[in-house]
Amino acid sequence: MKLWWGWACVLLLSLLALSVSQAEAQDDLDLEMEDEMEEAMVEDTVEDREDSAEIEGEAEMEGEAEGEKGTDANVSFQVTYKTPVPTGEVYFSETFDDGTLDRWQVSKTMKEDADDEIAKYDGKWSVEQLKENKVPGDMGLVLKSRAKHHAIASLLDRPFIFRDDALVVQYEVNFQDGIDCGGAYIKLLSDEDGLDLEQFNDRTSYTIMFGPDKCGEDYKLHFIFRHRSPLNKDLEEKHAKRADVDLKKFYTDKKTHLYTLVLNPDNSYEILVDQSSVSRGSLLHDVVPPVNPTKEIDDPTDSKPEDWDERAKIPDPEAVKPDNWDEEAPAKIQDPDAVKPEGWLDDEPEFVADPAADKPDDWDEEMDGEWEAPQVPNPVCETAPGCGQWKPPTINNPQYKGKWKAPLVDNPHYQGVWNPRKIQNPDYFEDLSPFQMRSFRAVGLELWSMTSEIYFDNFIITSYKEVADRWAGDSWGLKKLVASANEPGVFSQLTMAAEERPWLWVVYILTVGLPVGLTVLFCWPKKSDDDYVYKKVDPPKPDVEEEEEDEDEEEEEEEEEKGDQAAEAKATESPKPAEVKKEKAEEESGAAGGDSVEDEEDDEEEEEDEGEEEEETKSNEAASDDVGAEQKEEADEGGHSVGDGHKQAVRKRRVRKD
């Protein structure tokens, strides 16, 4: 059978490699198409607005400047940037591209309930570009101090009132140096008469807190709103459920990420990171504690009766300890079959004083007592089974039963687990519109961080998701494109990871080698016996001269044997000449003239027999020659058995001839 399975597997692997290469090419094509679509979107924006972002991809950096444009050596393609402008109604927007904090107020107060050394909000803020993957001309707010309190705030263009319009809050964060412990969340400060941004601290009233926070290995994305009870007007924080995805990469990849919060008048909310949803729910059902309290609560004045029996099982009162139950028997006893090993040194201590130890020079026997050398293992015991008093080892006591306890039975007086009675909740209320929160009129950052260089940019507060998306396309979209262009390839990332963790090389080898080995093992089957094609091999040719000599010797021996046999046969079959003559004479004397005729016929038959024997001899010689020739040809073709048969036939004919 042909090795068509092997060729089929080779063809399959080739097709697989071709499909992978085509998939990579398709991914590149999709990426290019995505870039072109984003470029087209930006170009459409330019037609609609005068101050918008334009993106042009080039192979190398070229120096151009139009308006607020710049270039950077870290960017692998040219970026033309203009400060984005909202395309719709907004309550607040900030890009920091003017390089100042004129619109913002740094807090000058002290943090309550803290030591004086750390209570002051003295953390530094700065307006800078990104350290990596920067977009020329794009600036942002950077937290510059570590292990300090930071507070800064800015008023909205007008207060946001929760009525019939949705709320969309969006901004960018980049942990440029990673994050150990700290937050990057914002607070929407409530619209109150006493709001003073210079006194902004952790006690300042806020309506919503939103954004990333991390400490230790706990990665959070806060969405907290403060709900006011319609009964007593108390404020209580409500925490949304945790995100549905792993947030770790957003804190560790040192990229700029876009955080978006959408609140709708129907009490639904959605949290997005990089325009992808990570959590959604309802303000009525997916927050802790719930907005609406329960109708009934446990009666705080109710107490469990003294005779209330909560025991489901009790010891059997009728059970009696068996007479042979020994509670005093020890759990362990010495092994009675143990024997002290030979060579055990009973008189040698296990530890002795260290002979090399010296009393310290500053040792004061009056203060420190009598000095004693430290104990070390006895060197004599190293070659012996043991030293000191020998004690047999202990084993489990087969007679040990422990303290006797009565078996448990069902409690006939069991009343169940006691629960206090329920009463109507005096603080019960039902708020079906938690979306209608307190209005807010300022946005602020009040943070404590053990890591510096936290980057904030492109704040926007609006009621329209489309406006926020277009704003992100003109700002965050540029950063994403630059980061993607500067990102190393897959193989480079794998190599960098292996340089940091060399054990990954083993994983790579197994990941690549194992599938290849299994593919070869299962797709390249072993050759069966039917698939082999046997090659015709010429039989070995014996030495012609030796073979002829052997044949001559065998023929001579056979001729001698045949001659002896023929002589004996003639002697037994044909009568002697004297006897023949005597018989003829008797026949002649006993018979008349008819006998002479018979003698003549016998003579003629003898002559004919002699002629036939001569002809047969000649034919046998010719036949032997032909057979010899045929035997030689068959021997050349590899047939030994047939040649042997012909040899025997020839020898028989030669014997007959002889």
The residues that bridge with 308 in the sheet, in sequence order, are: none
Q: Which residues of the chain have pLDDT under 70?
A: 1-79, 487-493, 496-497, 500, 524-553, 563-658
The secondary structure element, H or E, covering residue 398 is none
What pairs with residue 237 in β-bridges?
226
Can you tell me the distance from the alpha carbon of 307 to that of 293, in angstroms, rounded to the nearest whole number?
33
Three-class DSSP labels, 420-441: CCEEECCCCCCCCCCCCCCCEE
Q: How far apart are CA 177 and CA 494, in angstroms?
A: 22
Closest CA to 186 of 133, 266, 123, 260: 260
> What is the tens place of the pLDDT at every residue in 40-85?
444 444 344 434 334 343 333 333 333 333 444 444 456 678 899 9
d(CA 258, CA 273): 6
The span from the first CA to the last CA of the chain, in angstroms, equals 57
Q: Which residue has the tokens 């698939």?
A: 531
The pair of structure tokens assigned to 464 is: 């329209």
**CA–CA gap between residue 208 and residue 284 (Å, rounded):** 16
Residue position matching structure tokens 């202990």: 394
For the record, the structure tokens of 401 come out as: 């039963």
Which sign does the torsion angle of CA 97, 98, 102, 107 carry?
positive
Amino acid identity, position 74: N
Give residue 313's pLDDT. 94
Determine the pLDDT at residue 528.
53
Asked if 332 and 395 count as a contact pair (C-beta separation under 8 A), the reply is yes
3-state DSSP assignment of residue 133:
coil
Question: What gap in Å lies between CA 143 and CA 145, rounded to an integer?
Answer: 6
Longest dimension (CA), the chain: 183
pLDDT confidence of residue 495: 74
pLDDT in tens, 404-419: 999 999 999 999 999 9
